[in-house]
Amino acid sequence: MAPDSDGHRENGMNVTQDLSMITLLWNASPVVQAVMLLLLVVSFMSWYFIFRKWFGIRRAGTQTEQFERDFWSGSDLGALYQSAVNHRHSTGSLERVFEAGFREFVKVRTQRSADPAAMVDGARRAMRATYHREMDRLEAHLSFLASVGSVSPYVGLLGTVWGIMHAFRGLSNVQQATLAAVAPGIAEALVATAIGLFAAIPAVVAYNRFAHDVDRLSLRFESFMEEFSNILNRQSHAK
């Protein structure tokens, strides 16, 4: 019984070694390996964009809060504008929107003798154009995360289906079909689905979170543009 027991343990060790992750990846069919490599590359890219967007949106939120505090603290608009011009490369999105609107307002006020509505409309159009540019910058790469989250599971499923087909084709050369014969092929196929989910789940979670944060910033920008337009409208009639 002892030799049989030792032999059984040895076989169990061999099965465990044969079904290790590295062995499965190394012995997978070329198509399954290509699918896994593609999913790993996409996963690394999505994590890069996740960290990049996390820091970028967090910085945009901090800069927006700081500028709103400065703006509503009663600071002179001219001083705020000059500060935005002097620190243009380090200002936040909302401050750039303010800078574009106030610059256009001053330009129209000095060039035309007159129409208050023209001054406010010009400032509003300038702010709207800058707003769209800033939103495009904040939303950059979100579509990539959405694509990874929606497509990766299907790419992994493609590798799984192909791996299972390859495993069952291999049974045609075996006299007796056993679980030990088909298990490695099925296991390597399922690894493709696991990698696809590994790539998709963080991308979906990150996309939903970042899209929510960008929408909140967008609402804050639009509210500021309306309130700032009202301030400019009062100033244009006061001149």
- Of 11-20, 69-78, 221-230, the one with minimum mean pLDDT is 11-20
Q: How confident is residue 163, by pLDDT bands cut at 50, 70 and 90?
A: confident
Instruction: Identify the H or E element spanning 55.
Output: helix 30-72
- Of 13-22, 65-74, 186-195, the one with minimum mean pLDDT is 13-22
Mean pLDDT score, 30-39: 85
Direct distance between the N- and C-terminal alpha carbons of the chain, in angstroms, rounded to an integer:
105
* pLDDT at residue 7, rounded to an integer: 45
Q: Which two tokens stand for residue 217?
A: 């910033």
- Of 14-23, 185-194, 202-211, the one with minimum mean pLDDT is 14-23
Please give the residue that has the higher pLDDT: either 191 or 170: 191
C-beta of residue 230 within 8 angstroms of C-beta of residue 121: no
3-state secondary structure 201-213: HHHHHHHHHHHHH
Mean pLDDT score, 223-232: 93
SS3 177: coil
Mean pLDDT score, 94-119: 84
Predicted confidence (pLDDT) per residue in 35-94, tens digit: 888 999 999 999 999 999 999 999 999 999 999 999 998 778 888 999 888 887 888 999
Whether residue 123 is predicted with pLDDT greater than 70 in this model: the reply is yes
Task: Using a cut of 0.85, tell me whether the model's pTM lies above it.
Answer: no
Q: How confident is residue 184, by pLDDT bands cut at 50, 70 and 90?
A: low
Helix 142-170 vs helix 179-238: crossing angle, to nearest 10: 170
Number of other residues whose CB lies within 10 A of the CB of residue 85: 12
Mean pLDDT score, 135-145: 94
C-beta of residue 17 within 8 angstroms of C-beta of residue 23: yes
Strand runs labelled E in 130-218: none
Quote the CA–CA distance of 91 and 96 in Å, as a whole number. 7
Please give the residue that has the higher pLDDT: either 109 or 150: 150
pLDDT above 90 covers a percentage of the chain that reads 48
Mean pLDDT of the chain: 83
Please give the residue that has the higher pLDDT: either 25 or 5: 25
Please give the residue that has the higher pLDDT: either 69 or 3: 69
C-beta of residue 101 within 8 angstroms of C-beta of residue 129: no
* pLDDT at residue 172, rounded to an integer: 65
pLDDT above 70 covers a percentage of the chain that reads 79
C-beta of residue 113 within 8 angstroms of C-beta of residue 90: no
